[in-house]
Structure 1
């Protein structure tokens, strides 16, 4: 009997759905799921989610919020409500992202993470089923370090370089999401090429380097490849701890009958001595890595923009002045 590429891949790697599309999640039944502001905004635009939006708005109103605070609270409640609905369809965890505008504010990130967890608790969801998703800035990583020390599990996203991965390991975060497709896009533009052979794909190579570093140093933080552009990129990381994949690529993998073999293999740790990376070293290495520096900031800006778009959508839906707050 021939098995699909997706079913073979699931024997090597934990597959996570990168989507807020409840229909797609129900179809593929991944173990875990990830969301981000762009996905939440897209899902909120779908007519079938109108009730979720109205419920979130009414709850925020009943809590006494008004004006801009009402919309911001509605977005947080809606984000959690999507997470709750996703958790009804999967057995594992959902990643829920902290407002990206807080990416350079450690204390505010910690406070927002706890607000989101308090909402999940209201809906009867256990804390261990939530991964708090935070951008991999220095400040975000320090917030994750404090949260992890309290038993709150974190997923560090917008990760583009080994220096970020090292800082996340120092912080003992549960999981990191190194991006593949965005790195490929950056190099294609920077080097003016249309494609790379998969064995030279800079996004794939970046994740492999991080995976190998973690495993060779006995680091327990899990590696979840993210941001894929093709099924080939996904399969090139078969054997990674986890891979979060968009529904359109999951569908292509399900239709494919090609043989899938492990491309990443965890080796026994050769050393446990890892020198911690200081704030100054992190800053220097980030600034020297133009790709990581640009993609981290543009990723944060993109998520902020998506949240602003959702704010406009909600204001229009409920007849509130659509003018964004200054």
Structure 2
């Protein structure tokens, strides 16, 4: 019997949710994703010290540019050991400014271009706000493909699909966290609200022939991953990837095209905002996620500021 990780790779593209190059090299995922929190962790890894120093050269006080340089340096290193793509996140503090998101996305792509890395190996990560989705729609038309993150609601998934984004990252674990705290209940298997959310989105996309890739993210345990086996992609932490690698049990495919899904519905801005307002969990977790990434972006910039001579 092969490991659960190897079985999972038979019907799901496995993505490493980390900036740890050693772990990526060991566990051999297809793609990798980073975010401000993971880059902040990477900044304390000794092997990235030279990237930190190089990132602040001639930035003239522009710590946002320095942070993007560091993200691209980390991403470029990861791309040397994976066959697929790296997802690099736009500053979360810009999540409600469409034009600023577009400018920052272009800056990141330009940095990858200068590093000799073609855009077909990069996904730009944007928060799934209305403004983020609209920015992604424009970027996709320019040939810059996007990963819409911090996605917690069905309305966000609907809007992303209609915008033609390449990939979405619905968050399983953070949905689970909210319901566990709100109700005091433990959720396991198919009863997990995070698992139910991704399953609903997956079935909706397949039933309506949307091409947008569904990549479940933010896992708390192996059970959540097992219930979503068969999802287009799953982005998983090194710790959980290692547990899957060590487990020789059977892993059946749970998600497949052909299941019933809700009929297609296109949301305008007012409908999107109302649906978001009606979903207390999604409203709370989106705002919290943006705040958390913003604080970690600020901490990363403080690390970089200390490197400026």
Asked if TM exceeds 0.5, the reply is yes
In structure 2, the partner of 1:219 is 210
CA contact (8 A) 1:134 1:155 kept: yes
Distance in structure 2 (CA, Å) of the matches to 1:27 and 1:17? 11
Q: Find the counterpart in structure 2 of residue 323 from structure 1.
A: none
Aligned to 1:17: 16
- C-alpha displacement of 1:66: 2.0
Q: Cα offset for 1:149? A: 1.1
- 1:317: how far off? 3.6
* Cα root mean square deviation, aligned: 1.4
* Equivalent residues of 1:169, 1:219 under 8 A apart: yes
Partner of residue 160 from structure 1, selected from 152, 157, 160: 152
Separation in structure 1 between the aligned mates of residue 81 and residue 279 of structure 2, nearest angstrom? 40
1:66 matched to which residue of 2?
Answer: 60
Query: Normalization by structure 1: what TM-score?
Result: 0.92
Q: Which residue of the partner structure matches residue 307 of structure 1?
A: 297
Cα separation, partners in 2 of 1:270 and 1:253, compared to 1, 3 Å: closer
**1:177–1:223 CA contact under 8 A, matched in 2:** yes
Structure with greater contact order relative to length (CA < 8 Å, sep ≥ 6): 2
2:147–2:169: 8 Å Cα contact kept in structure 1? yes
TM-score by length of 2: 0.97
Residues 247-285 of structure 1: CA deviation (Å, up to 9, x unaligned): 0000000000110111101118989x7332100000000
Q: Counterpart in 1 of 2:224?
A: 233
Q: Which has the larger radius of gyration?
A: 1
Distance in structure 1 (CA, Å) of the matches to 2:274 and 2:13: 34
Secondary structure class of the residue paired with 1:131? strand
After superposition, where does 1:96-245 map in structure 2 within 5 Å? 96-193=88-185, 195-245=186-236
Superimposed CA distance per residue, residues 168-203 of structure 1 (whole angstroms, 9 cap, x where no aligned partner): 01100000000000000000000022x212120000
CA shift for structure 1 position 316 = 2.7
Partners of 1:98 and 1:231 in 2: CA distance: 29
Q: CA offset at residue 211 of structure 1?
A: 0.2
In structure 1, distance between residues paired with 2:84 and 2:55: 24
C-alpha separation in 1, matches of 2:81 and 2:148: 24
Structure 1 unmatched runs, 5+: 320-326
Other-structure match for 1:247: 238
* Secondary structure of the structure 1 residue equivalent to 2:87: strand
Equivalent pairs counted in the alignment come to 309
Q: Match of 1:52, SS?
A: helix
SS of the equivalent of 2:306 reads helix
The residue aligned with 2:48 is 49
Aligned to 2:140, the other structure's residue is in SS state helix
Q: Which runs of 5+ in 2 are unaligned?
A: none
